[in-house]
């Protein structure tokens, strides 16, 4: 990119500037398998136009029996959408819509380790695409809730049946949502925060 | 319902070490570069700010200290907030000048990466140089920790409610 033409450089709109008093940020991750609505959710609740940060991953060809050594390295660009919500004059919340595949997560320093918690989006037509990410969060001790994104042609199951199929303990909230609507996405985030708060109160959050 | 079923997994790692509580807002909004004190290296203990200084709410502990004499690198998170401390000197690279221009108001590393179309890793290298040159200040994020912080969670809930 050309950094010299300062008139044409992209940047935040004036109304998107954070106050100088902004001291710190917190983050929440929105995860789930391919096409479950992560980007849509980030966009519906963000106060700024959603942005994308990219990382390039150089990967040796795996599972390929070859004689070319480093010649087989391939570069994969991994993109992550994110949005922002101002909480107070001092505090800012960032939401990251994160690819479900764990092999990408290490690209972003502390993305999951530092997140307050996670929203796992599921699509009832293909519940299993979000299975792996839930297990990864459990392994890493990242608290999460499950949000069922209602697609019109998706089957509707009683929440108890979903809890059984997803093997979730009784305390983990499962909520239905339409992530295209801001109010619905906001409700999902409020549910996550309420859950984190209950963990904090009970001293269970580690 | 039919279809595949998941099996829950167990935590594999030890929880992170406890950290001091979320600091309350500073008594007065600070003008200009508020971390000047935090970045001063006179006493050689730039990282303090916990109970040792008798001010548990000291906001200075939020600042990431980089470019220390030992060459320690800033641990930059996606949501570390970067703020310019001065205008770009003539010696600044075009990329560095672009960061300084964007950081007139605080901006996260992720946003800088997005606006400048630079990968996160390249962005952290550039910002680390700017921190070392004392051209920008970094304000570290608040991360999940073993000792949960109810007041922080409540603040986020109130903020979301207003959305
Ligand atoms: N009907 C309906 N469609 C939705 C909803 N949420 C998302 N969609 C649509 O589903 C498609 C996928 O949504 P995305 O937000 O791109 O999903 P994603 O998880 O970011 O997808 P990837 O990044 O490709 O993994 C888009 O065409 C959305 O418009 C929803 O709540 N209801
Ligand atoms: Mg997406």
Whole-complex ipTM: 0.88
The helix (H) or strand (E) run that includes residue B64 is strand B63-64
- Give residue-wise pLDDT tens across range B109-146: 999 999 999 999 999 999 999 999 999 999 999 998 86
Structure tokens at B56: 């548990």
Q: Given this model, what pLDDT does residue A107 score?
A: 80
Q: Confirm if A115 and B16 have CB atoms less than 8 A apart.
A: no
Cβ contacts of B57 on chain A, cutoff 8 Å: none
Domains contained in chain B, CATH given: 62-161 (1.10.10)
> pLDDT class for A110, splitting at 50, 70, 90?
confident
Per-residue pLDDT tens for A20-31? 999 999 999 999
Interface contact flag, A107 B152, Cβ < 8 Å: no
Other beta carbons within 10 Å of B4? 9
Check residue A11 and give its pLDDT. Answer: 92
Q: Where are the domains of chain A?
A: 24-202
The yes-or-no verdict on residue A62 having pLDDT over 50 is no
Give the DSSP H or E segment for A137. helix A131-140
Q: How far is CA B148 from CA A1, A205, B21, B23, in A?
A: 42, 6, 8, 13
Measured CA to CA, the distance from residue B87 to residue B95 in angstroms comes to: 13
**Distance (Å, rounded) from C-alpha A196 to C-alpha A169?**
15
The sign one gets for the Cα dihedral B26, A115, B54, B24 is: positive
Superfamily in which the A24-202 domain is placed by CATH: P-loop containing nucleotide triphosphate hydrolases (3.40.50.300)
Contacts of A9 in chain B (CB under 8 A): 98, 101-102, 115-116
Q: What is the pTM of this model?
A: 0.82
In the numeric block, the tokens 């910002």 are attached to: B127
Q: Name residues contacting ligand 1 (CB within 6 A).
A: A 32, 34-40, 97, 149-152, 178-180
**Cross-chain Cβ contact A93/B10 below 8 Å:** no
Residues 6+ apart with CB under 8 A from A27: A93, A94, A95, A96, A111, A114, A115, A116, B78, B79, B141
- Chain A partners of B152 at a C-beta cutoff of 8 Å? 26, 91
Cβ of B115 within 8 Å of Cβ of A186? The answer is no
Percentage of chain A beyond pLDDT 70 is 87
Angstrom distance (rounded) from CA A190 to CA A172: 14
Q: Tell me the percentage of chain B whose pLDDT exceeds 90.
A: 53
Q: How far is CA A94 from CA A74, B82, B107, in A?
A: 31, 15, 11
CA–CA dist A119, A129 (Å, integer):
14
Residue-level pLDDT at B89: 94
């Amino acid at each position: 990119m050309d950094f010299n033409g300062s008139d044409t450089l992209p940047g935040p709109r004036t109304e998107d500037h954070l106050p100088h008093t902004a001291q710190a940020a917190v983050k929440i991750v929105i995860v789930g398998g391919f096409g479950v609505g992560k980007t849509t959710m980030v966009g519906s609740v963000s106060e700024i136009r959603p942005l994308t940060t990219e990382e390039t991953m150089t990967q040796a060809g795996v599972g390929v029996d070859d004689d070319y050594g480093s010649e087989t390295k391939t570069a994969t660009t991994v993109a992550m959408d994110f949005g922002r919500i101002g909480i107070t004059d001092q505090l800012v919340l960032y939401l990251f819509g994160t690819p479900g595949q764990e092999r990408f997560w290490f690209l972003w320093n502390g993305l999951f380790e530092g997140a307050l918690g996670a929203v796992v989006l599921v699509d009832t037509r293909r519940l299993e695409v979000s299975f792996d990410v839930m297990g990864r969060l459990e392994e890493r001790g990242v608290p999460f809730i499950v949000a069922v994104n209602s697609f019109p042609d998706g089957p509707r199951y009683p929440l108890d049946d979903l809890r059984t199929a997803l093997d979730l303990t009784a305390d983990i909230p499962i909520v239905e949502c339409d992530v295209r609507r801001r109010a619905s996405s906001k409700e999902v985030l409020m549910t996550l925060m309420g859950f984190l708060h209950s963990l904090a109160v009970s001293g269970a959050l580690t | 319902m039919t279809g595949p079923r998941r099996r829950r997994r167990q935590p594999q790692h030890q929880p992170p070490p406890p950290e001091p509580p979320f600091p309350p807002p500073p008594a007065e909004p600070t003008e200009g570069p508020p971390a000047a004190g935090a970045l001063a290296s006179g006493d050689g203990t730039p990282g303090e700010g916990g109970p040792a200084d008798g001010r548990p709410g000291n906001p200075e502990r939020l600042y990431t200290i980089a470019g220390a004499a030992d060459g320690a690198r800033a641990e930059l998170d996606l949501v570390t907030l970067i703020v310019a401390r001065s205008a770009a000197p003539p010696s600044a690279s075009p990329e560095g000048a672009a960061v300084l221009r964007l950081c007139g108001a605080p901006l996260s590393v992720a946003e800088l990466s997005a606006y400048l179309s630079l990968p996160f890793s390249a962005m952290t290298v550039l910002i680390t140089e700017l921190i070392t040159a004392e051209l920008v200040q970094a304000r570290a994020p608040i991360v999940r920790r073993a000792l949960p912080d109810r007041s922080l969670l409540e603040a986020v809930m109130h903020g979301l409610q207003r959305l």
